[in-house]
Structure 1
Amino acid sequence: MRKTVSLLIILGLIAASCGSKKKAAQKKHSKKGRTAHVTPKPVKTPDKEHERTAEFKPVMVNSTEEYIRYFAPIAQDEMREFGIPASITLAQGILESGSGRGELTLKTNNHFGIKCHTGWEGGMEYHDDDEKGECFRKYNDPYTSYRDHSLFLTSRSRYAPLFDLRTDDYKGWAKGLRKAGYATDPRYPQKLIGLIERYELYRYDDQVLRSPEGRKQLKNTGKQIHVVRRGDTLYSISRRYNTTVDALKRANRLRSDNIAVGQELKIR
């Protein structure tokens, strides 16, 4: 009898010990399970890739009409500022960029096919054009391309005769661009004129010319006088009108390089 009781006690102790181990194992397993469901930290985007995406901002359009609607106001602003017909700027943009959908434009935001040229310190992209692997300017956004187009035409003496034409003479401007060497295609003027007349781009010139403010601004883009605006310097003005700082100072009897907003400067 005593042997039987002792055996039962031993079996009871063994069962209790196994149960305790089982509970401990279950508790440990449960703890691991909770840890496995913790949400992982997101993977950080590499800095260089983030910067590239943040800086380069092309504008995607689906048709020539959409291109015109988007860029016409910008071309008109450039016309008021520099005296280049909006119709010419838009026609060149359409032709040179394939209405914003050309391979080069999508890679560079270059809407006017402007090559690097000596002294260019901005972005660059190599692309096959008249010759293999030519260097083209690259911009962060299309607006910079439009402004650089205006500066390109106003800062080079070979384009100076264009600014003696009437601002609404888009045919004269188209022929003058080809004559000055903007493009090698002998049919370049006809292509620009065809685009202007097909899409009635001349109406954007008319809108600027009919506006009293636009007429006043255009008057000041001539070669005779310039009204100083915020951000202007004698150097930037001299580049715009293809002259020198010393010539501006002599023409306006300036003793220093200081100029004020609203001041009228004689160019010639």
Structure 2
Amino acid sequence: MKKIVLYTLLLVCTCSSVLAKNYSRKEYIQKYKDLAIKEMERTGIPASITMAQGILESRNGNSDLARKANNHFGIKCHDWVGPSMKFDDDKKGECFRKYNNPYESYKDHSEFLTTRPRYAFLFKYRSDDYKRWAHGLKKAGYATDSRYAHKLISIIEAEQLYKLDRKGAGKDFYAEPDASQLADIDGDLSIDPFGARLEVANGIHYIVSKKGDTFYSIEKNLGVERKKLLRYNDLPKNYILQLDQRLYLHNKRNKAARGYNFHRVKEGDSLYSISQQYGVKLKKLCKYNRVKKNYKVEPGERIWLRKKKR
């Protein structure tokens, strides 16, 4: 009887190992390149960088973290409130984020880079400048490996992933995957209509409202709640969205980007418009200039965008 049980267990293990297919690097690229391109068009993160990070962090999608938690980028829990799993990494039993599908992992990778201040400087680089992005990720502390940037660049150049950064190049990169290859990727793979409209100021993503936009449509497409949009943009609760309005999708900064110490007021400027132009919180502008929110600026006046040096 024990022999039969042992044989059955061996058979199950053998079948499981056969079913758990190991992807090659090229198979991984073919399977997930569309997600990397989608995120590039939505956020500006180079598809080559996203793809190389996925390859390196998930070992071509074959790591336990990728298989059991759909986590392709090795992102730990940090301030995560969703599902999680424990894996050994730098320390034993570290907490890692768990996703329902790979697409959620790719989207959260974008969210991780676009919302953390230490990565803000990366978005000053072009989306086809993969070398600067690779070195920038290492500089910002994405990984502890001293050769992290060189490994990403090596993967990108070996697989010619830089071709993914060119507009419309994805369809000609390897063979186009059929429906069965994307069967395990849930969610809408169509390009977010707001994606091409994302712009960056002071390291913060924003859009400019167009005809037909509403707070509801922005929330639906970009996932930012109305109350957060109002808070991020120093707007009152009963505010009605205006045409051609700059709307930040994350909190504005406490000071302007390096090199912008003050703004020389022009005709038509207001303290609020200056706050939006430079991505600086309105209350901080008031503090730096020792004025109140309803203060009326005058043409030629100097408005400080960061604490004045004494």
Fold conserved (TM > 0.5)? Answer: yes
- The Cα shift of 1:193 comes to 0.4
Percent identical among aligned pairs is 46
Partner of 2:238: 256
- The Cα shift of 1:207 comes to 2.6
Greater share of residues in helix? 1
Cα distance change of structure 1 residues 66 and 227 upon mapping to structure 2, 3 Å threshold: farther
Give 3-state SS (helix, strand or coil) of 1:135's partner.
Answer: strand
Bigger RCO of structures 1 and 2 (CA < 8 A, at least 6 apart): 1
Q: Which residue identity lines up with residue 78 of structure 2 in the other structure?
A: H
| Aligned: 1:222 with 2:182 | no
TM-score by length of 1: 0.65
TM-score by length of 2: 0.56
- The Cα shift of 1:256 comes to 3.4
Which digits, 9 at most, give the CA deviation of each residue in 1:1-58, with x for residues without a partner?
A: xxxxxxxxxxxxxxxxxxxxxxxxxxxxxxxxxxxxxxxxxxxxxxxxxxxxxxxxxx
Unaligned runs of 5+ in 1: 1-58
- Contact 2:230–2:237 (8 Å) recurs in 1: no
Cα distance change of structure 1 residues 237 and 184 upon mapping to structure 2, 3 Å threshold: farther
Match of residue 131, structure 1, among 91, 94, 98 = 91
Partner of 2:82: 122
| Aligned: 1:146 with 2:106 | yes
Which digits, 9 at most, give the CA deviation of each residue in 1:191-218, with x for residues without a partner?
A: 00000000011111013599xx99x955
Cα distance change of structure 1 residues 140 and 178 upon mapping to structure 2, 3 Å threshold: same
| Aligned: 1:94 with 2:72 | no
Aligned length: 198
Distance 1:62 1:231 in 2: 37
Distance 1:235 1:69 in 2: 28
Q: Root-mean-square deviation (CA), in Å?
A: 3.2
Distance 2:68 2:145 in 1: 23
Give 3-state SS (helix, strand or coil) of 1:207's partner.
Answer: coil
- The Cα shift of 1:107 comes to 1.1
| Aligned: 1:265 with 2:250 | no
- Contact 1:60–1:100 (8 Å) recurs in 2: no
| Aligned: 1:74 with 2:56 | no
1:1-268 alignment, distance < 5 Å: 62-118=23-79, 120-208=80-168, 217-218=195-196, 220-223=198-201, 225-227=206-208, 230-232=217-219, 236=224, 245-249=230-234, 256=238, 259=241, 264-267=245-248, 268=279
Which digits, 9 at most, give the CA deviation of each residue in 1:77-108, with x for residues without a partner?
A: 10111110000000000000000011221111
Distance 1:121 1:198 in 2: 37
Unaligned runs of 5+ in 2: 1-19, 171-190, 249-278, 280-310
Cα distance change of structure 1 residues 257 and 71 upon mapping to structure 2, 3 Å threshold: farther
Larger Rg: 1
- Contact 1:87–1:201 (8 Å) recurs in 2: yes
Give 3-state SS (helix, strand or coil) of 2:167's partner.
Answer: helix
